[in-house]
Amino acid sequence: MPIVVFLHGGMEETKIRVLELYSGIGGMHYAAQLANVGAEIIFSVDINTSANEVYRHNFDRTNQQARNIESLSAKEINKLKPDIIMMSPPCQPFTRVGLKLDLEDTRCSSFLHLLDVLPHLETVSFVLMENVVGFETSEMRNAFTEALTSSGFYFREFLLSPLSMQIPNSRNRYYLIAKKFTDFPFGSETNILTALPCTGCDIDVSAQETTLQSYLEKNLADKDLARYLLPDKTLMKYWRILDVRQTSDTSSCCFTKAYTHYAEGTGSVLQHCSNEPFRTRFAEFEKDGDIAHLKTLQLRYFTPREIANLLGFPAQFSFPETTSLRARYRLLGNSLNVFVVSRLLKLLLE
């Protein structure tokens, strides 16, 4: 169970020791900070070199290691004495665009290893896991929940989007929270929840305004704006399928790791010049094919900083200067929503 530290004056501070697996660029770490539950990341592991560089750039005091999770033994984990495991395992075996090999996918091997060591972990009392929609119908999910149950955990599953918290970005994801000793006072293990229970309704995660405007970079310089404008060839070829959003919109499509690389289904684009009539300009272009009509709208990609804002990464989060623009989009597309995870963490530890 969590370690209780006695401070001067007899006050208590609960220190919850977190083992962060598949740590990526630190979404779980920031969620633990935002939840304000006294959580301390004692050890962090990921095998992705680019993600590790970003993680260490932002959390230079955390013991973060580039390792295959299969190299973690129960003995080593027990020496760390973690109270909770927070993780976001590889999603490719379960995505709608993947091969859906499920348990047969080699990228599941590290997760299966964790299931093998789970019964031997002496101090872990809580688990929080994030993955893509589709995981809930996988064999991997069945193996995971069976391992939890046989190790004495109770669990609840969720399919949640930031939109449910009035954050203007659709990023529907599967989540599981689990704890030992006592069952949850809401839901059941046979139903997947699509909203947070009322017991968590009073949680304040300091969410920003409900429109996209609040998440955008202010006063982009002309040279920076030019960097994000859609190329003419993209406008000409894909104008019919672009998901164009205004600054006043209260939603946007999920940003994937292929954002800016592919036009369809990878995320919304923004009409930077909000004074121009969007539908009129598209109708004019459809009529005569003159791209000048579309260029007046200044359609641009959301910047990495803006996507990070929508994902709940705080203002102090940044990328190393050596991280390319393409890599920034890819890493963000593989990340998670900090706001949602922080809500679930508080719910788990109530």
Active site residues: 91
CA 298 to chain CA mean position, Å: 29
Distance separating alpha carbons of residues 102 and 99, to the nearest angstrom: 8
What kind and span of H or E run contains 64? strand 64-66
Distance separating alpha carbons of residues 172 and 168, to the nearest angstrom: 12
Distance separating alpha carbons of residues 79 and 94, to the nearest angstrom: 33
What kind and span of H or E run contains 43? strand 39-46
Distance separating alpha carbons of residues 154 and 150, to the nearest angstrom: 10
Number of helices (H), then strands (E), in the chain: 12, 12
Q: Which long-range contacts does 194-201 make (Cβ < 8 Å, 24+ apart)?
A: 194/158, 194/159, 194/160, 195/160, 195/164, 196/158, 196/160, 196/164, 196/343, 196/344, 196/347, 197/347, 199/347, 199/350, 200/343, 200/346, 200/347, 200/350
Question: Going by DSSP bridges, is the β-strand pair 12-21/39-46 parallel, antiparallel, or unpaired?
Answer: parallel
Contact 86, 18 (CB under 8 A): yes
Q: Who's near 120: CB < 8 A, 6+ residues apart?
A: 74, 78
Q: How far apart are the first and last CA of the chain?
A: 13
**Residue 187 CB: number of other CB atoms within 10 A?**
15
Distance separating alpha carbons of residues 154 and 268, to the nearest angstrom: 38
CA 174 to chain CA mean position, Å: 11
